[in-house]
């Protein structure tokens, strides 16, 4: 920890100091338009080096996967290879104007087409669209597609989406935004979907089910084929939330187990940057029954020529132009680097790493559904008197780790959701276990230490809701 007090930009200001030397003015001076210069807006006056140090110091306050282990469950904070960035920064990709005609933009459209083909193969889909900008945006697209399908078949009364109680919050939100009503299906004692409850909910008003596999409990839904059949038999469709594809690439194709439409978060599984709501890509893939409803345009190839085209019954655009094209270049680079074999090893290593951590930690951190996990596991942080998951998460910051996702999924009390990803070494995992065991010991012997954490940061416990909703963004010295 740096014990020197950290100056704020305004405190570094010195009257009259400047960071630039402008050439002598060689045009007649004209007054600054009224209202542009406001005396109440004070600006710090400083030299260039002070400015550089200030912003560099600020940038180092960010926590990032390039600096530390980031086991944020459900977010797949894997390393994003730098080769992706090199590819995305090629002038041909970067400089292409979004309004250029298809015949003069063959390279970009070919890349979109190739990526579509790769993702079709990974998911077993008959078509995919790269339009949506995030997982939640993909969900919304998929639910629009399901709704359009039922309306086209003369079934306006199919308005009910079934959603397991372990689901990510975006699932019910997307369905509600698409105008459907949601029905929560409870989990059984094993952490899977309760089949009796599902059977009871399957009636002629069902539009479909939205199911995450592996679930947000980090568990594979063993009854997925039975569940898909039950919903199909009732006339509904199956939406797969593919945010957790990191556990399955090259191992299982979701379309093979009855998924009709699904999103993949390219900004998770396919190693493109994510955070702050994007920019990402929540590609949607569809089985034949829904392929023509996909958002568009999508890339097509005929006689070696590429073009962007709308599927025949498309729900329309979800994003301007090609969507987040830079993300597509990165994901394509990653898939080509790994190849088919690499895709499988990615998933196997992600699952192995999570099970290794779980096996080493489960004596100290109880697990509600203790069966073998997939790419992540959900522990509980309420094992010591007076200590909560929040305290454990805050104490992890003192040891230089980004806390895992906490208090989600909602069906696990005091949840602590750990996702190591495949890109971490055994040494990193072991160092993390050592710290977690130490914190578990501290929780028993010195609970006050945890309740006051973090101790090594410029600020301690914040009002997190207020910090997010009403951030103080200007200096009030
Ligand atoms: C299981 C699950 N579904 C959906 C989403 C939403 O994805 P996005 O954040 O890209 O909108 C997430 C995001 O964390 C997720 O973990």
Nearest CA to ligand 1 atom 7: 135
Q: What is the mean pLDDT of residues 278-293?
A: 94
Tell me the pLDDT band of 430, cut-offs 50, 70 and 90: very high
| 170, 213, 275, best to mutate for ligand 1 pocket (most atoms within 8 Å of CB) | 170
Mean pLDDT of 245-269: 97
Name the closest-CA residue to atom 16, ligand 1: 74
Pick the closest to residue 411 from 170, 200, 184, 75 (CA basis): 184
**Gap between the Cα atoms of 432 and 440, Å rounded:** 12
Closest CA to 298 of 125, 152, 90: 125
Q: b/e map of 444-458 (b: 16 or more CB within 10 Å)?
A: eeebebbbebbeeee
* DSSP per-residue letters across 39-71: TTS------HHHHHHHHHHHHTTS--TTTS---
The predicted structure's pLDDT at residue 477: 61
pLDDT of residue 459: 85
Tell me the per-residue pLDDT of 139-173, one tens digit each, with 9 for 90 and over.
999 999 999 999 999 999 999 999 999 999 999 99
Predicted local confidence at residue 277, as pLDDT:
54
Nearest-CA neighbor of 134 among 316, 2, 319?
319
Q: Which of 189-203, 421-435, 460-474 has the lowest mean pLDDT?
A: 460-474
Least confident range from 126-135, 184-193, 462-471: namely: 462-471
Strand stretches in 231-371, DSSP E: 237-242, 261-265, 282-286, 298-302, 305-309
Ligand 1, atom 9, lies closest to the CA of 135
Compute the distance from residue 50 Cα to the ligand 1 centre, in Å: 40
pLDDT in tens, 66-75: 999 999 999 9
Distance of alpha carbon 398 from alpha carbon 16, whole angstroms:
40
- Tell me how far apart the alpha carbons of residues 93 and 111 are, in angstroms, rounded to a whole number: 10
**Model pLDDT for residues 349-387, shown as the tens digit of each residue:** 999 999 999 999 999 999 999 999 999 999 999 999 999
Domains of the chain, CATH where assigned: 82-337 (3.40.640.10), 342-467 (3.90.1150.10)
Mean of all residue pLDDT scores within the chain? 94
How would residue 35 be classed by pLDDT, with cut points 50, 70 and 90?
A: confident
Residue 254: its pLDDT value, please?
98
Report the atom number in ligand 1 closest to the C-alpha of 268.
10
Measured from the Cα of 265, ligand 1's closest atom is: 10
**Residue from 75, 265, 327 whose mutation best tests the ligand 1 pocket (most atoms within 8 A of CB):** 265
pLDDT of residue 62: 83
Q: Which atom of ligand 1 is nearest to the CA of 139?
A: 4
Average pLDDT in the 125-147 region?
97
Q: Strands of 237-242's sheet, edge to edge?
A: 127-129, 282-286, 261-265, 237-242, 206-212, 160-164, 181-185
């Amino acid at each position: 920890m740096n014990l020197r007090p950290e100056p704020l930009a305004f405190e570094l200001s010195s009257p009259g100091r400047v960071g630039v030397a402008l050439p002598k003015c060689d045009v007649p001076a004209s007054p600054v338009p009224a209202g542009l210069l406001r005396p109440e807006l004070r600006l710090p006056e400083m030299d260039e080096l002070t400015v550089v140090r200030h912003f560099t110091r600020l940038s180092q306050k960010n926590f990032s996967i390039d600096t530390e282990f980031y086991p944020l469950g459900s977010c797949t904070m894997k390393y994003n290879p730098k080769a992706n960035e090199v590819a995305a920064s090629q002038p041909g990709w970067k400089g292409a104007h979004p309004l250029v005609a298809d015949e003069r933009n063959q390279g970009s459209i070919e890349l979109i087409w190739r990526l579509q083909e790769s993702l079709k193969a990974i998911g077993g889909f008959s078509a995919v669209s790269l339009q949506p900008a995030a997982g939640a945006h993909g969900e919304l697209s998929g639910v629009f597609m399901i709704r359009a399908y039922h309306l086209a078949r003369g079934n306006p009364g199919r308005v009910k989406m079934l959603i397991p109680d372990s689901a990510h919050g975006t699932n019910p939100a997307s369905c509600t935004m698409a105008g459907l009503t949601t029905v929560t299906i409870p989990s059984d004692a094993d952490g899977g979907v309760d089949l009796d409850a599902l059977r009871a909910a399957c009636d002629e008003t069902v539009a479909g089910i939205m199911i995450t596999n592996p679930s947000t409990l980090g568990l594979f839904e063993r009854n997925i084929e039975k569940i898909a059949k039950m919903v199909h038999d009732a006339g509904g469709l199956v939406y797969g939330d593919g945010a957790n594809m990191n556990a399955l690439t090259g191992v299982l194709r979701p379309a093979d187990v009855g998924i009709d439409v699904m999103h993949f978060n390219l900004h998770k599984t396919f190693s493109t940057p994510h955070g702050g709501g994007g920019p990402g890509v929540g590609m949607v893939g569809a089985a034949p029954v829904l392929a023509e409803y996909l958002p568009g345009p999508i890339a097509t190839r005929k006689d070696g020529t590429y073009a962007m085209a709308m599927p025949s019954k498309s729900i329309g655009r979800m994003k301007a132009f090609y969507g987040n094209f830079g993300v597509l270049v990165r994901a394509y680079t990653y898939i080509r680097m790994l190849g088919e074999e690499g895709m499988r090893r990615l998933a196997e290593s992600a699952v192995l790493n999570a099970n290794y951590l779980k096996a080493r930690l489960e004596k100290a951190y109880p697990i509600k559904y203790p069966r073998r996990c997939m790419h992540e596991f959900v522990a509980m942080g309420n094992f010591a008197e007076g200590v909560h998951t929040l305290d454990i998460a805050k104490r992890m910051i003192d040891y230089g780790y980004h806390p895992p996702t906490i208090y989600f999924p909602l069906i696990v009390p005091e949840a602590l959701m750990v996702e190591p990803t495949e890109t971490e070494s055994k040494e990193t995992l072991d160092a993390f276990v050592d710290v977690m065991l130490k914190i578990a010991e501290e929780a028993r012997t010195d609970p006050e230490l945890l309740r006051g954490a973090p101790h090594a940061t410029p600020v301690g416990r914040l009002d997190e809701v207020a910090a997010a909703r009403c951030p103080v963004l200007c200096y009030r010295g």
